[in-house]
Chain A
Amino acid sequence: MEKTGRRWLAGSAATIALAAGGAALPSQPLGTATSVLLFVTLAQSWNIIGGFAGYPSFGQVAFFGVGGYCAAVLTAQVGFSFWAALPASAAFAAAFAAVVGPPLLRLRGNAFSIATLGMAAGTRELVAILGVTGGGAGLTVPTFGPGPHTAYPGALAFYWAYLALAAVSLAVVAWLSASRFGLALRAIRADETAAESAGVATTRTKVAALALSALLAGTAGALFAFQQVVVFPDSMFDITTTTLMVVIVVVGGRGTVAGPVVGAVVFETLVTELHLFASRLDPLILPALIVVGVVLLPDGVAHLLPVPPGAGRGGTPRARPRAVLLDAVRRYRL
């Protein structure tokens, strides 16, 4: 069997095993696992634009929030069932990215990052003042009652839904890494002017990447809105969500398929579990993990994996854990 076929088979088997395993988990670990799966999707979403294309978006939460609010509005104000609102919300988030993308993606580097931060803040403010979104008072996704509603499916069903979404996002990024589209994104990241002179339609490619990343983030946002039942601008447009996406990808390995998965498992588990044991240290936990992760693993955890994580065939060689640690000690005089 071809290597690609074996990978798909292994991925499918792992997904089925995780789905079955979820049913056996007690409530608290199930919650942590659900959170990890949500962040696998969000990190892969950021990985497409920040990792593959090299455009570090600090406003990715905007697409998560737009997807969530779209689902809430469609179910609460229009009478859609949640399952009909889900694809519509994902498509709306992608369309939103396709509209805001062209002016944002004319910028590069820090200017792009700051502009995306502003775009997310602006979107949040807009949602907070609009009547249809419930403004600052929030909006409730109808889960019971005489009117149109979608019954709340419970924690295990959400675990399965996030698992399915994480598997899809992983498959999308795996496809991307081997595709012509992914090659163009990596060329843009390496040298955008050279990519242009090689004939890559850079603007269209970047906007398509942003829209694809927004599609994943918007779907996750819609699921999150349903899971939370009541959505508020502060919860759907929380800057910490973007921070986590960035950190997970950077620590896991930018522009790799496995990195965001590894990063999400390590980070979300640590953040959640440390919160349970020492909630007073919450403000310190995330920054401390970021510093430790970035200092010790500047190229990401994925570069320590036995299989080179490089997207496509040109991956960078595997780093040796001991060499990475020694390098960190030398650089930072630890």
Chain B
Amino acid sequence: MSLLEVRALTTGYRGGAVLGGVDLDVGPYEIVAVVGPSGSGKSTLLGAISGLVPVASGSVRLHGRDVAGLAAEDIMALGLVHVPERRRLFAGLTVRENLLLGGWRAGRRDIGRVLEMFPTLVGRLETPSGALSGGEQQLCAIARGLMADPAIMLIDEFSLGLAPVMAHDILVRLADIAAGGTSLVLVDQDAATALSVAERAYILESGFIVASGPSGKLLADHALLDRYLD
């Protein structure tokens, strides 16, 4: 059984459809990428799954339970964490406070476990998160998400604005996180980066899934990549 099962999901803003009936599956320990040109609906898809964007129709099943229409905090309590685009850290709050907020719902105050995974943050705990570099902010955002000990994490544009070395470093950590038992859904405009770490991928175009399959197979299909990706 899939950990996350999305069926015929539609949503939109002000009457205009953004997603036109998306199907998506994510299994345990799996890394799945959703790629596509800008404006294809990737961020909306993640928002609709996590409860930040209202769902018009369709279902989102987490552990077999339909969560479409639930509030974001209730979906999070069921084990799904969303790391939004541009990290959305609380800039005026310290790294420590950001991490504590990640564990807010679950009542977790022990930040030691995530600091072991992100030792870079140890010396920055009392720094306002707005003062961190782009890479550190992304690490902090992922660490904040892990504070909830999620079963699945949706990460939006994880490589945005990062140097290739830092993006690679984050990819390595994401692979470790998945190996530790947290499934990942990665959305990124840089298709090659996302596909390099994901086992399977979906290509989204104008709100529709136009192709899906093992990442290696999609990466090898140059005609497909040229047609749908920037």
Is B a genuine binding partner of A?
A: yes
- Give the interface of A toward B (CB within 8 A): 180, 183-184, 186-187, 190-191, 193-203, 312-314, 316
A158–chain B nearest beta-carbon distance, Å: 39
Residues of A within 8 A of B82 (CB): 197
Our pick among A187, A197, A313, A314 for the contact of B72 (Cβ within 8 Å) is A197
What residue of chain B has the Cβ atom nearest to residue A200's Cβ? B104
Our pick among B77, B88, B94, B105 for the contact of A191 (Cβ within 8 Å) is B88
In the bound assembly, the distance between CA atoms of A45 and B71 in angstroms comes to: 29
| Chain A binder among B19-27, B33-41, B59-67, B95-103 | B95-103
Cβ–Cβ contact A183 & B91, under 8 A:
no
Residues of B within 8 A of A180 (CB): 100, 104
In the bound assembly, the distance between CA atoms of A191 and B92 in angstroms comes to: 10
What residue of chain B has the Cβ atom nearest to residue A193's Cβ? B52
What residue of chain A has the Cβ atom nearest to residue B148's Cβ? A199
Cβ–Cβ contact B101 & A201, under 8 A:
no
B49–chain A nearest beta-carbon distance, Å: 11
What residue of chain B has the Cβ atom nearest to residue A201's Cβ? B73
Cβ–Cβ contact A196 & B52, under 8 A:
yes
Chain B residue total in the interface (Cβ 8 A): 30
Cβ–Cβ contact B73 & A191, under 8 A:
no
Supposing A193-B88, A199-B105, A199-B106 touch, asked if A187 and B93 sit within 8 A by C-beta, the answer is yes
12 sample A-B contacts, Cβ–Cβ < 8 Å, listed by A number: A180-B100, A187-B90, A187-B101, A187-B104, A190-B91, A191-B90, A193-B84, A197-B50, A197-B81, A197-B83, A199-B102, A316-B92
A205–chain B nearest beta-carbon distance, Å: 9
A82–chain B nearest beta-carbon distance, Å: 40
- Report if B89 contacts A (CB, 8 A): yes
Cβ–Cβ contact A313 & B90, under 8 A:
no
B59–chain A nearest beta-carbon distance, Å: 21
What residue of chain B has the Cβ atom nearest to residue A312's Cβ? B97
Cβ–Cβ contact A184 & B101, under 8 A:
yes
In the bound assembly, the distance between CA atoms of A315 and B81 in angstroms comes to: 28
Cβ–Cβ contact B96 & A199, under 8 A:
no
Residue among A194, A200, A312 with the highest chain B CB neighbour number at 10 A:
A194
Residue among B77, B89, B93, B96 with the highest chain A CB neighbour number at 10 A:
B93
B70–chain A nearest beta-carbon distance, Å: 12
A51–chain B nearest beta-carbon distance, Å: 13
- Give the interface of B toward A (CB within 8 A): 50, 52, 71-73, 76-77, 81-84, 88-94, 96-97, 100-102, 104-106, 126, 128, 144, 148
Cβ–Cβ contact A198 & B101, under 8 A:
yes
Supposing A193-B52, A193-B88 touch, asked if A199 and B104 sit within 8 A by C-beta, the answer is yes
In the bound assembly, the distance between CA atoms of A200 and B148 in angstroms comes to: 11
A317–chain B nearest beta-carbon distance, Å: 9
- Which 10 residue pairs across A and B have the least CB separation, nearest first? A199-B105, A194-B88, A314-B94, A190-B90, A199-B76, A196-B72, A314-B93, A198-B101, A197-B82, A201-B73
What residue of chain A has the Cβ atom nearest to residue B102's Cβ? A198
Cβ–Cβ contact B104 & A194, under 8 A:
no
B120–chain A nearest beta-carbon distance, Å: 19
Our pick among B52, B91, B97 for the contact of A197 (Cβ within 8 Å) is B52
B69–chain A nearest beta-carbon distance, Å: 15
In the bound assembly, the distance between CA atoms of A316 and B91 in angstroms comes to: 11
Supposing A186-B90, A190-B90 touch, asked if A200 and B100 sit within 8 A by C-beta, the answer is no
Residues of A within 8 A of B76 (CB): 197-199
In the bound assembly, the distance between CA atoms of A313 and B83 in angstroms comes to: 24
Cβ–Cβ contact B94 & A198, under 8 A:
no
Residues of A within 8 A of B100 (CB): 180, 183
Residues of A within 8 A of B89 (CB): 194
Cβ–Cβ contact A200 & B105, under 8 A:
yes
B21–chain A nearest beta-carbon distance, Å: 24
What residue of chain B has the Cβ atom nearest to residue A317's Cβ? B128
Residues of B within 8 A of A183 (CB): 93, 97, 100-101, 104
Cβ–Cβ contact A201 & B105, under 8 A:
yes
Residues of A within 8 A of B92 (CB): 186, 190, 314, 316
